[in-house]
Amino acid sequence: MTDHAATVPDRPAFAGTGLHTSDAAVRRLRARYAANRRLQAMGIGAISLALGLLGILLITMVSAGWTAFFQTYVTVEVDLAPEALGLEPGTTEPEAIRRGDFREVLIDSVAARLTGVDDATARRALRDMLAAAAPITLRNMVMDNPALLGQTIEFRALASDRVDQVYKGLIDRELVEDRRTISDQQLRFYDQMVEQDIIAAPFNWRFFSTADSRTPESAGIWGALVGSFYALSVCFLISFPMAIAAAIYLEEFAPKNRWTDLIEVNINNLAAVPSIVFGLLGLAVFIQFFGLPRSAPLVGGMVLALMTLPTIVIAARAALKAVPPSIREGALGMGASKHQTILHHVLPLAMPGILTGTIIGLAQALGETAPLLMIGMNAFITQAPDSITSPATALPTQIYIWADHPERGFVAKTSAGIMVLLGFLIVMNGMAIWLRKKFERRW
């Protein structure tokens, strides 16, 4: 970098010394300096624009998504008398309890706290203020612990999305009734709940423990997290050893000839093939030809492994190349075979670099969506997968599914999912940077 024109005086220092002193010359010089300042300003402008847009993106996601980390609940006392539930007194059989009418009992308990629930319409309005999942949670509680029958317990009932939206101030209450999702009657009930302090929005643990759902208030990200974990594990188990082996061969053993040139060009080109093409490969070969199950993290992981392989190979080759020849010569001089030299001395020294590349490759794989869509990992699945062959979604495909839902509540869920995904990416890239800093060495 040179220092010329670092300072731009208004009137050049040599003005008036006899050379180039005409007004026209000074004007020309000023114009040239102004052009220089303009280019600099445009550069700053371009950077600010790019950073500003990045900032807007992140702020949008956080401001749209943070509410999803809290969920509204209505806390009421529920009298679990077997008669009210329509159960035989003294029953402890889970299958019998399953048939109990928990929904009506739950609505009764909420209605008891409110005034104005006196006809079927009001009851229906009240029912729609609670999530469909609330009575099921209550039922499962009782099925797990039949001793609760006959007791009066304090129960935290999940509120439905519309109540959640009102509680978080996301619905404009001043709107005309038929332009908002919550009715005037429901708002009156809601105000009573607020007055009696039985409604609250604690941290949404449920979001991190359930899978997808049709209703935004019950949808969670756990299923997608497990699916992504399985797919990334498969991806790692396949790509990590294979990439190291390929890098060792290409860097340490391969003769320089057409064949190895071809492999090299191939690896570089694979790194730039659009991800959706890998999805087509997975669909045609793994699913159609080999008959592996659709929507399974196994196939997702295999496709992602093919995609990350070039990234890790390139990083591993660079890391192997950085180990100085003196290490190899020393080991060979002590009588080690070539394989022993590489496995015992070169590879351990190259490992931090290889791990850094691997983590970066896996972080890319974690955010990859298109190939997973191709192999069907965008199905509607309400349970976390229990093996690598059961149908699952992954974090990015779950985000894609939610982004497609029209309900307001899913906008927050989508943004929250994006925050979780970005959080994982930050952690993984942070780990890679830390590894690089900690083990970086100059020979």
Partner 1 sequence: MHGGAFMSAGTLGLIIMLLAVSSFFYGRRRAVVAADHSGARLHSVPSYYGFYVAIWCGIPAIILILGWLALDDIIIRGLVLAGLPDSMVDGRSPAEIDLLMATIRNAAAGIMFGEPPPEVMAAADHLQRLQALSRMAMTVVILSLAIGGITYARSRISPAFRARIKVEGAMQIFLIICSVIAILTTIGIVASLLFESMRFFARVPVTEFLFGMTWSPQTAIREDQVGSSGAFGAVPVFAGTLLISAVALVIAVPIGLLTAVYLAEYADGRVRAVIKPIIEVLAGIPTVVYGFFAVLTVAPAMRAWGADIGLDVSANSALAAGAVMGLMIIPFVSSLSDDVINAVPQSLRDGSAALGATRAETVKQVILPAALPGIVGGVLLATSRAIGETMIVVMAAGLIANLTANPLEGVTTVTVQIVTLLIGDTAFDSAKTLAAFALGLVLFFVTLCLNIIALRIVQKYREKYD
Between residue 312 and residue 351, which ones bind partner 1 under the rule CB under 8 A? 313, 337-339
Nearer to partner 1, 25 or 194 (CB): 25
Using rule CB under 8 A, residue 288 touches partner 1: yes
Distance (Å, whole) CA 358 – CA 369: 19
Residue with tokens 């010569």: 329
Stretch of residues binding partner 1 (CB under 8 A), selected from 67-75, 109-117, 133-141, 291-299: 291-299
Asked if 275 and 307 touch (Cβ cutoff 8 Å), the reply is yes
Between residue 248 and residue 277, which ones bind partner 1 under the rule CB under 8 A? 248-250, 253-254, 262-263, 266-270, 272-277
Distance (Å, whole) CA 52 – CA 60: 12
Q: Which residues pair with 152 in a beta bridge?
A: 79
Nearer to partner 1, 109 or 393 (CB): 393
Residue with tokens 């694979």: 270
Residue 411 C-beta: closest distance to partner 1, Å: 7
Residue 96 C-beta: closest distance to partner 1, Å: 26
Nearer to partner 1, 44 or 170 (CB): 44
Using rule CB under 8 A, residue 390 touches partner 1: yes
Q: Site for partner 1 (CB under 8 A): which residue of 323, 357, 415, 416?
A: 415
Question: Pairing mode, if any, of strands 199-200 and 73-79?
Answer: antiparallel
Site mask for partner 1 (CB under 8 A), range 422-441, x = bound: x--x---x------------
Nearer to partner 1, 163 or 432 (CB): 432
Q: Site for partner 1 (CB under 8 A): which residue of 367, 383, 405, 431?
A: 367
DSSP 273-294: S-HHHHHHHIIIIIIIIS-PPT
Using rule CB under 8 A, residue 306 touches partner 1: yes
What is the SS3 string spanning 44-72? HHHHHHHHHHHHHHHHHHHHHHHHHHECC
CA angle 192, 196, 201 (to 5 degrees): 90
**CA nearest to 167, candidates 197, 205, 212, 136:** 197
Using rule CB under 8 A, residue 237 touches partner 1: no
Asked if 78 and 94 touch (Cβ cutoff 8 Å), the reply is no
Q: Site for partner 1 (CB under 8 A): which residue of 221, 323, 374, 381?
A: 374
Nearer to partner 1, 166 or 248 (CB): 248
Residue 229 carries which side chain, given as an amino acid letter?
F
Q: Site for partner 1 (CB under 8 A): which residue of 49, 194, 334, 427?
A: 49
Residue with tokens 């052009």: 35
Using rule CB under 8 A, residue 281 touches partner 1: yes
Nearer to partner 1, 49 or 194 (CB): 49
Distance (Å, whole) CA 307 – CA 326: 34
Residue 352 carries which side chain, given as an amino acid letter?
P
Distance (Å, whole) CA 312 – CA 358: 5
Nearer to partner 1, 143 or 276 (CB): 276
Nearer to partner 1, 169 or 291 (CB): 291
Distance (Å, whole) CA 164 – CA 435: 43
Using rule CB under 8 A, residue 222 touches partner 1: no
Using rule CB under 8 A, residue 284 touches partner 1: yes
- Cα 53 from chain centroid (whole Å): 20
Stretch of residues binding partner 1 (CB under 8 A), selected from 159-167, 326-334, 348-356, 416-424: 416-424
Residue 200 C-beta: closest distance to partner 1, Å: 28
Sign of CA dihedral 409, 414, 418, 420: positive
Site mask for partner 1 (CB under 8 A), range 50-89, x = bound: xx-xx-xx--xx--x-------------------------
Using rule CB under 8 A, residue 369 touches partner 1: yes
Using rule CB under 8 A, residue 194 touches partner 1: no
CA angle 135, 139, 145 (to 5 degrees): 145
